[in-house]
Amino acid sequence: MEPRNIAFRSPGHHGYSVEYSPYSPSRLAVATAQNYGIAGGGSLYIIDVDNAMGASLVKSFQCSNGLFDVTWSENNENVLLSASGDGSIQLWDLMKEAIPVIVFKEHTKEVYGVDWSQTRDQHLILSASWDKTVKLWDPQRTASLATFAAHNSIVYCAIWSPLVPGCFASAAGDGVVRLWDVRRPQSPRIAVNVGSEVVSCDWCKYDKNILVAGGVDGKISGWDLRKPNAPAFLLSENGHTHAVRRVKCSPHHQSVIASCSYDFTTRVWDFASQPAPIETIQHHTEFVCGVDFNLHIPGQVRPYVLAMAK
């Protein structure tokens, strides 16, 4: 049974990202920042969710700067990464002390996105930063392996393709989603001109050629990378009225997408059936900045809100 209206409150901290564990159907990681990330520290919360018991805190980690994203390791159930406002990335281990195991620090501005490669035999990390670059990391090394610098504005996210090893997409404030091969950091393979500032993107889990982007104009566009000159579909009917903060493609259904927005809503879409949302969730009273699908339970979506508990 899907948990409904189960709340976890983080007093004094605003939520920026939430991600289900790839190992446990009940475990979540939540990245937060004080004062909307403008000043103060951040906390990383590990939460277990149960229908009967609600949300319970398993462990928390504290940082001197705000945390804007989180991603789980694909080869160790106790390891995860966070992205920080001081330009660093922290690697945490739930079985160790409450300090980072490793800190990766090369970006010169805020790191807004991190992603761990989904290929179990290829342990690589991406970081996306306000310094207009994406960096590639090996979690066993403190120096980056490569820097990708084709964007001319803030890079909000960099997401691995789940179907093509060594391929990722980056979304930025220049209105372009760029596709990269890690073996060729000098230039992207494809540049998709979305138009408006692109805050988030994600890959279809069933078709290597379909990419979804969410923009500050409140629209969600889908792109067939074999025909990148125009969107394959546009989701805007009865859609978001403010910027789309994050989009996620379902791991269970080829055409289902979840999105969250500064309009305080989370919406679920099926781009194969209609251009309007099939569900709109209005439980929040502030900006919704994170959303994720449960890999283990079809249909379960967990949004997280950017709001301070009073």
pLDDT for res 264:
94
Half-sphere exposure of residue 18: CA atoms within 13 angstroms, side-chain side: 26
* C-beta separation of 90 from 42 below 8 A: no
Give start and end residues of each alpha helix (H) in the chain. Answer: none
| pLDDT tens-place string over residues 112-141 | 999 999 876 778 999 999 999 999 999 999
Closest CA to 116 of 234, 12, 19: 19
pLDDT of res. 89: 98
CA distance 80 to 261: 25
Q: Strand ranges (DSSP E) for 117-209?
A: 125-129, 134-137, 146-148, 155-160, 167-172, 176-181, 190-193, 198-203
The Cα-based distances of 84 to 56, 224, 252 in angstroms read: 24, 33, 31
User: In terms of pLDDT, which residue wins out, 4 or 269?
Assistant: 269
Task: Name residues whose C-beta falls within 8 Å of residue 96's C-beta, 6 or more positions apart in sequence.
Answer: none
pLDDT confidence of 297, banded at 50, 70, 90? confident
SS3 content of the chain, % helix, strand, coil (to 5): 0, 45, 50
What does the pLDDT average to over 11-34? Answer: 93
Report whether pLDDT(302) > 70. no
pTM for the full predicted model: 0.93
d(CA 162, CA 154): 24
Q: Is the pLDDT of residue 4 over 90?
A: no
pLDDT value at 19 more than 60: yes
Q: Which conformational region is residue 54 in: left (phi greater than 0), alpha (psi within -120 to 50 degrees), or beta?
A: left
The 10s digit of each residue's pLDDT in 238-282 is 999 999 999 999 999 999 999 999 999 999 999 999 999 999 999
Show the DSSP H helices in 58-214 as ranges. Answer: none
